[in-house]
Chain A
Amino acid sequence: MRFLKQIAYFVGLPIALILLWWVLTIDSTNFFVPKPGQLAETFVEVWFSERFFVDVLPSISRLLTGLVLSIVLGILFGIIIGSVRILRQLSEPVLEFFRAIPPPVLVPLLMLIIGINDQMKVMVIIFGAIWPVLLNTVEGVRAVDEVLSDTCRVYRISGFARFRYFVLRSASPQIMTGVRQSISIALILMVISEMFASSSGLGFAIVQFQRTFAVPQMWSGILLLGLMGVSLSLIFQFTEKRVLRWYYGLREVDR
């Protein structure tokens, strides 16, 4: 029962909006404004075809590769930088600088250096999406509790075990905040990198539709991107709830 209620809350407003959209566009003749029924039809037509293999799958695999690498590398470097004070002080201004560069400007540069291929797109994603994870991890590692740290020392929990049982878990709330930001950045960069220079992918397809005035198809691409974003966010929320159960419980009690 509670589950059904949750689902009802989740889909309630979207359904209402779609109904409103349907009512407002019911006798519209504007070519640029899509109608819900028509869009759904186009959506199935366009994406449940060979385009699924040519455009959708490559996009998803670039996105996931870039995202996973950003998270893993971000956590790894974040822990190293966060644990060594000298490294932290040295790298702070440099990291701020790199973070301040808008990643899309790297597309032309990386095109020249790496060439027009998948690696370039993955690199663009990593270059944009790694910062939130990395900087939040540094912050989380730096903020570990002193008493817990002493506890580890007394019980001689050091080296890898210390990271596994203490540092990583202790920094996990901050890491998850970083991951949440990285997901949206990665999605944006996936599309942008494909718009610039590509012969496949969602970004490429959408630009192509737009250039050929295939407006309904273009809308269907935007819809697909939105749905991908929502799915990623749902997967994230599910994971976060499990990883941070202790954290939310603790906060609940502290209040």
Chain B
Amino acid sequence: MVLRLERGRPLTITQEGTAASHQVPALSVKDLKKVYQTPGGDVEAVRNLTFDLAPGEFVCLVGPSGAGKTTLLKCIAGLLAPTSGTVSVEGKVVTEPPKSLAVVFQEYGRSLFPWMSVRDNVELPLKNQGVDKAKRDQLVDEALEAVGLAHVPKSYPWQLSGGMQQRVAIARAIAYQPQVLLMDEPFAAVDAQTRADLEDLVRRVWKQLGITVLFVTHDIDESVYLGERVIVLSNSPTVVQEDLKIDLPAERDQLNTRSLPRFTELRGHVYEQIQRAKAASRPAASVTADNK
């Protein structure tokens, strides 16, 4: 909400507003580099990444398959230690998973506990944090309601379709009330209709909760439709190819937004950047390969 005000009237920002634009970024990635050490030699997944996310921003990260998107997200989430560089969440350098951060994984089917009901899955992180029962029930109910799963709390995850499972994972993340939400190609494996629904769901949740979202995808259309900003990554070893502001209206709609001329323009631009990223980084990548 704060964000929209700022963007709508950039010239009439109050003193408080000015302070807000200098405030600590929700997420800050600085000179991040990640090299995997494998028996077959070193794999440089991320070469050098630097970018910030302001509180309340919705940013999409696009890049070709194997560009190191998952690697980056794992470093941000504190699941992987970077080779060099730092990640900070709300001003604190990440050394272990930050408390105010939630992740929706790429492999949604495997991220739910198969021995727990849908409800228990959503409730577990809260229970673990010691949130009292009444508050817990309320948060879980709201989250399940928000993703449209209020009718299946007793089912097990494996009794649900892929799209429903992903919604459970989203509900769990929402109920946890994070400040920063990371999503790793969350809709890669669901059908087109479900995907459109889930996209709108994520935008709605983002607006309602005012959280910061970093959304990874390799789908260009999706990134432009969802994001306020799109960061294009190059091919592996990865650098930021382009950081693009998406100046589409805040109210987005599957039919109208996607048929706006501006949407087509932006999509074309991102597409071009990705093509260029691929072409540009190939020689560089093969040089590093020769060095081994």
Residues of A at the B interface (CB closer than 8 Å) are 145, 147-148, 150-151, 153-157, 161, 165-166, 169-170, 172, 246-247, 249-250, 253-254
Contacts and interface: CB of A to CB of B under 8 A. Distances in A.
A141 to B, nearest CB: 15
Among A155, A170, A246, A249, the one with the most B-chain Cβ atoms within 10 Å of its Cβ is: A155
B129 A156 contact: yes
Contact of B103 (A154, A169, A172, A247): A154
B97 A156 contact: yes
B156 A153 contact: no
A155 B158 contact: no
A74 to B, nearest CB: 20
Given A147-B105, A156-B129, A253-B158, 7 more contacts: A148-B113, A154-B102, A155-B125, A156-B128, A161-B128, A165-B116, A246-B115
B114 interface: yes
Interface string B64-108: 000000000010011100000000000000001101011101010
B174 to A, nearest CB: 13
Closest CB pairs A-B (n = 8): A155-B125, A147-B110, A246-B115, A169-B115, A250-B158, A154-B103, A157-B128, A151-B111
27 contacts: A147-B107, A147-B110, A147-B111, A148-B111, A148-B113, A151-B105, A151-B111, A153-B96, A153-B97, A154-B97, A154-B102, A154-B103, A155-B97, A155-B128, A156-B97, A156-B125, A156-B129, A157-B125, A157-B128, A161-B128, A170-B115, A246-B158, A247-B114, A249-B158, A250-B156, A253-B158, A254-B158
A157 B99 CA distance: 11
Contacts of B152: none
Nearest to A252: B158
A85 to B, nearest CB: 16
A154 B99 CA distance: 8
A105 B113 CA distance: 44
Contacts of A150: 74, 77, 79, 103, 105, 111
Contacts of B172: 155
Interface residue range, chain B: 20 to 34
Nearest to B105: A147
Contacts of A145: 110
A249 B156 contact: yes
Among A145, A157, A169, A246, the one with the most B-chain Cβ atoms within 10 Å of its Cβ is: A246
B124 A154 contact: no
Contacts of B96: 153
A162 B156 CA distance: 20
